[in-house]
Amino acid sequence: MPYFNQSILRPAIFFLTGIPGFETYHVWISILFCCLYVIAISGNGMILFVIITESSLHEPMYYFLSMLSFTDLGLCLSTLVTVLGIFWFNVQEINFDACIGQMFFIHGFTFMESSVLLTMAFDRFIAICNPLRYSTILTNSRITKVGFAIVIRGTAALVPLLLLLKRLSFCHSHVLHHSYCFYPDVMKLSCTDTKINSAFGLAIVICTAGLDFVLILLSYVLIIHSVLSIASPEERKKAFGTCVSHISAVAIFYIPMISLSLVHRFGKHTPPLVHTFIANVYLLIPPVMNPIIYSVRTKQIRKAALKVFLSKLI
């Protein structure tokens, strides 16, 4: 453990953590992480490419899917350098301002992904409950405005949050529990009063991801009510089938995020390995699994990807 001068109030650096207790195996563990990053980046990049290049996929559903892939790609790239830097080169130090910048992108893309999942739920609601007005409600201009609103919403809330963090003083251990900078993790190291930061951070999470999750649940209550009113069992099965991919994406995004938040808020005596495991699941599982889910479940994406692959191969 590095020695820290207790008189230091504003650290020049923080120290990131790899896998506690498995430092001698970091090189081997890095193979797994590297594979996950390759799958996430190539999978989301492939979905973005086929949606952009294939005119048959220029529909609202696939536009929202491309937004999801964009946020997953951004989330991966936000942590790639620090995570692999620890495993490959044992580079644990990170500048305080660089840490603030990394938090901006990590939390920004997290809030944006939550918003995208909400818009995808709204897309499924309109497609199932009001299909005749689908094309008139979700026009290209409205989808563009929604995209800009998602970006603005995902970043605007972070500016005051991070400014509040910069005013804190740090005079305890500067060792973080994760291989990337995470807001609650950094805030815990402060030796000054963090009640405002904690309350404001909780309010931001409730007003963004929390509100989105409630609205997603509400949309599916309305979808289920509408589907159950359909007389034909075959039509019910088809309607529910169009929602499976989105429900899976919601589950693999919110479950790790809620778990990580609970561990940081209530798991003071939880072993560091648990913090690290949940943090890495939150970081990599959604970007890895979303392209796989949508490639397997969505016939149009699968056909378009195969078409692009064969054309490049030829």
Query: Cα–Cα distance between 48 and 281 in angstroms, integer?
Result: 23
Query: Cα–Cα distance between 120 and 127 in angstroms, integer?
Result: 10
Instruction: Give the model confidence (pLDDT) of 174-185 as tens digits.
Output: 888 889 999 988
- CA neighbours closer than 13 Å in the CB half-sphere of residue 281: 17
Q: Which CATH superfamily is domain 13-313 in?
A: Rhodopsin 7-helix transmembrane proteins (1.20.1070.10)
Question: Does residue 75 have a pLDDT over 90?
Answer: yes
Average pLDDT, the chain: 88
pTM over cut 0.85: yes
Question: What does the pLDDT read at residue 269?
Answer: 77
Q: Give the Cα-Cα-Cα angle 246, 247, 248 (nearest 5 degrees).
A: 90
Question: What does the pLDDT read at residue 215?
Answer: 96
Question: Does residue 61 have a pLDDT over 60?
Answer: yes
In this prediction, residues 293-308 reach a mean pLDDT of 84
Per the listing, tokens 């291989």 go with 179
Listed residue (90, 93, 91, 77) closest to 27, CA to CA: 90
Beta bridge partners of 14: 94
DSSP state of 176: -
Q: How confident is the model at residue 64 (pLDDT cuts 50, 70, 90)?
A: very high
What element of type H or E holds 3? Answer: none
Question: Does residue 311 have a pLDDT over 60?
Answer: yes
Question: What does the pLDDT read at residue 98?
Answer: 93
Question: Does residue 207 have a pLDDT over 50?
Answer: yes
In this prediction, residues 49-54 reach a mean pLDDT of 91
Q: What is the DSSP string of 260-310?
A: HHHHHHH-TTS-HHHHHHHHHHHHHHHHHHHHHHHHHH-HHHHHHHHHHHH
Q: What is the DSSP string of 142-174?
A: HHHHHHHHHHHHHHHTHHHHHHHHHT--B-S--
> Poorest-confidence range of 24-33, 157-166, 235-244?
235-244
CA–CA distances in Å: residue 39 to residues 43, 52, 246, 271, 299: 6, 20, 20, 29, 20
More confident: 307 or 79: 79
Every domain of the chain and the residues it spans: 13-313
